Structure 1
Amino acid sequence: MKPAIPVYDICSLSMGKDQQDLLIERLNHYLQNNYQKAIHQHGHSFYHLVLFTKGSGSHTLDFTKFSVQPYQVYFMIPGQVHNWHFSPDTDGYVIHFSETFFRSFLMHHDYLERFPFFSGDSKDQVLTVPLPAREEVKALFEKLVAEMETPQFDMIRVLMLQLFLLIERTSVREKKKAIPQQKLLVLRNFQQLINKHYRTIKLPKEYAELLYITPNHLNALCQDLLGKTAGELIRERILLEAKRMLTNADLTVTQIAYELNFQDNSYFNRFFKKYAGITPDDFRKSLNN
């Protein structure tokens, strides 16, 4: 049987360095040691981000393919699946950090979730740094690389937070103009609840109860801000997890249906084909093409 999709931790990618919570390197050096691992679908147990400064190729994040461009930056959260194919001249910077790296540093443990690029939604995780901000962004990466020589971790945390705030301010596509902050907060809370409970809570009305609003209010808010119903957002998250699990050849379709709390295998197959356009088995076969 084909082996299960690998899920790497930071130690497995640090080439002998005793790195459990943090890795910061120039991308060309990182690729020399890890390119063969990265060309195949794999997952991470940590947060991961890359800034490209030159080169070409493509990378796939949760089954959405992106072309590499200079000063593109992409982010991943633990549990996502990706792979890449880059030209030999590709360069930039790569940062890995564990889920616990900021935990003792920040009062709000969910602080990173405020950034759209840490949402786990691939369309918000790949950004192009605009020209006026490029030198400042690159300078922060250079400081982070230099700081790793004799790491003072609180300084690294401060620089990383500065980088996240700068990218949010300059690079996040503005889709929320003139929208009250309260609406955005409810939507983000809904998305976070879906990420936590998609296996067991399937109905918009159940999420509305957790948010102390009516189902109609929740649905109207999703339609207004995203052009989708609350039910669509829930189904998209379930479908995404099904795709991730299907990359693991050690899991049968029946096991995946059970893990996602479908009534039976045939119901899961109908759900997947309706929203993905192909059967789970055909999707699994397509990963090898």
Structure 2
Amino acid sequence: MNTIPNISFESEENEKEFEFLHLSKLFAKIKGGLEHNPNLPHRVNFFALLIVSDGAGYHQIDLKEFPLKKGTVLKIAKGQVHAFQEDPDYDGFLILFTEEFVLNYFSKSSIEFISHLYNYHISRPLVHGGNLNEAFIEEILLELEAENTYAQRNIVGAMLELYLLRLERFTHSAQLPKQNHQHYSIFLDFKNLVEKQYTLTRNVKDYAKMLQVSTKHLNLIVKEFTLNTAKHFIDDFVTLESKRAIASTSASLKEIGYAMGFDEVTNFTKFFKKHTGTTPKQFKAEL
């Protein structure tokens, strides 16, 4: 089955963890041709912030189009599938950073507050940053252009961490309590396991066993951060991966169903219709 391209972090400046790009330069490079087509859905193994400083347009994340305008910030998490629009009529900046950058330069407590980093499933990607964007861009450009580069990576990390925390404040609600650090760690382990093992098992008991916790305890933890059960989380992710595959590959529904872990296409169809209200065939026809 032809799969969605997986794009790894690759910087022109030989940076391994962080890159700051002007969108006008990126769009010029896209027109000139790249190894992959950014206008088609592709999965990234890093985090990205799309900050719009002028114009308007849209950007697709996981089959949904998000409107962009001056002041918009679009948060793209590691593992998400996204695509740029053709001939964009907006400008701004794209900030790319890896998980290693987050773990090395963000505090653990901040990571738990910045929900979109690891819990994009229930976090809104679109934020209007307003004046916050302008101050952040100005400050980080000054730092990146500074002749004295002593501790520059740490300073850039601190700036980005503070900016993301302030963005989070704009969209914060009381729906996701994250006071229990141990629970959050288990939740992240569960999320990562689901993303790696979903084609092999959709059984909550299997994931609880891998995490060495009881099924009841795992459900309580997942509910704490998503307001839903572990089974709901697993099924939601399988449904999302199925939609991604149907929309972005030329494979048959039988091949996609098999790739999602279903032995029979009828079982895949029943699962998909149960969770979306439509069959895979109907979903494909409506794209």
TM-score (norm 2): 0.75
Residues 74 and 102 of structure 1: is their aligned pair in 2 closer, same or farther, counting only changes over 3 Å?
same
Residues 1:264 and 2:260 aligned together: no
Match of 1:32 among 28, 45, 55: 28
Instruction: Tell me the equivalent position of 1:175.
Output: 173
Contact 1:55 1:87 in 2 (8 A): no
1:153-164 aligned within 5 A? 155-156=152-153, 158-164=155-161
Q: Distance in 2 between matches of 1:164 and 1:106?
A: 8
Q: Distance in 2 between matches of 1:260 and 1:280?
A: 13
Residues 1:235 and 2:235 aligned together: yes
For residues 219-262 of structure 1, give each alpha carbon's deviation from its aligned partner in whole angstroms, at most 9, with x where no partner exists.
34444543322211110111112222224434332232222222
Contact 1:116 1:125 in 2 (8 A): no
Residues 211 and 79 of structure 1: is their aligned pair in 2 closer, same or farther, counting only changes over 3 Å?
closer
Instruction: Tell me the equivalent position of 1:75.
Output: 75
Q: Distance in 1 between matches of 2:246 and 2:148?
A: 39
Quote the offset at 1:41 in angstroms. 2.6
1:198-213 aligned within 5 A? 198-213=198-213
Residues 90 and 216 of structure 1: is their aligned pair in 2 closer, same or farther, counting only changes over 3 Å?
same
Quote the offset at 1:27 in angstroms. 1.5
Quote the offset at 1:120 in angstroms. 5.8
Q: Distance in 2 between matches of 1:134 and 1:28?
A: 17
Contact 1:80 1:120 in 2 (8 A): no
For residues 131-184 of structure 1, give each alpha carbon's deviation from its aligned partner in whole angstroms, at most 9, with x where no partner exists.
56334322344246536xx89696246404531343124435323479462244
Q: Distance in 2 between matches of 1:192 and 1:56?
A: 35
SS of residue matched to 1:92: strand
Contact 1:117 1:125 in 2 (8 A): yes
Quote the offset at 1:20 in angstroms. 7.3
Contact 1:5 1:41 in 2 (8 A): yes
1:220-231 aligned within 5 A? 220-223=220-223, 225-231=225-231
Q: Distance in 1 between matches of 2:184 and 2:22?
A: 36
Contact 2:57 2:89 in 1 (8 A): no
Instruction: Tell me the equivalent position of 2:280.
Output: 280
5+ residue gaps in structure 1? none
Contact 1:55 1:86 in 2 (8 A): no
Which amino acid letter does the alignment assign opposite residue 237 of structure 2? R
Quote the offset at 1:192 in angstroms. 3.0
Which amino acid letter does the alignment assign opposite residue 284 of structure 1? K
1:49-128 aligned within 5 A? 49-85=49-85, 89-97=89-97, 115-119=114-118, 121=120, 123-124=122-123, 126-128=125-127
Residues 245 and 20 of structure 1: is their aligned pair in 2 closer, same or farther, counting only changes over 3 Å?
farther
State the percentage of identical aligned residues: 23
1:41-56 aligned within 5 A? 41-56=41-56
Which amino acid letter does the alignment assign opposite residue 187 of structure 1? F
Quote the offset at 1:267 in angstroms. 0.6
Q: Distance in 2 between matches of 1:271 and 1:151?
A: 57
| RMSD (CA atoms) | 3.9
Q: Distance in 2 between matches of 1:151 and 1:8?
A: 32
Quote the offset at 1:30 in angstroms. 1.6
Contact 1:80 1:244 in 2 (8 A): no
Q: Distance in 2 between matches of 1:48 and 1:257?
A: 30
Q: Distance in 1 between matches of 2:112 and 2:277?
A: 31
Contact 1:46 1:78 in 2 (8 A): yes
Quote the offset at 1:114 in angstroms. 7.4
Quote the offset at 1:86 in angstroms. 7.6
For residues 45-69 of structure 1, give each alpha carbon's deviation from its aligned partner in whole angstroms, at most 9, with x where no partner exists.
5433211122212212112322113
Quote the offset at 1:80 in angstroms. 2.3
Instruction: Tell me the equivalent position of 1:251.
Output: 251
TM-score (norm 1): 0.75
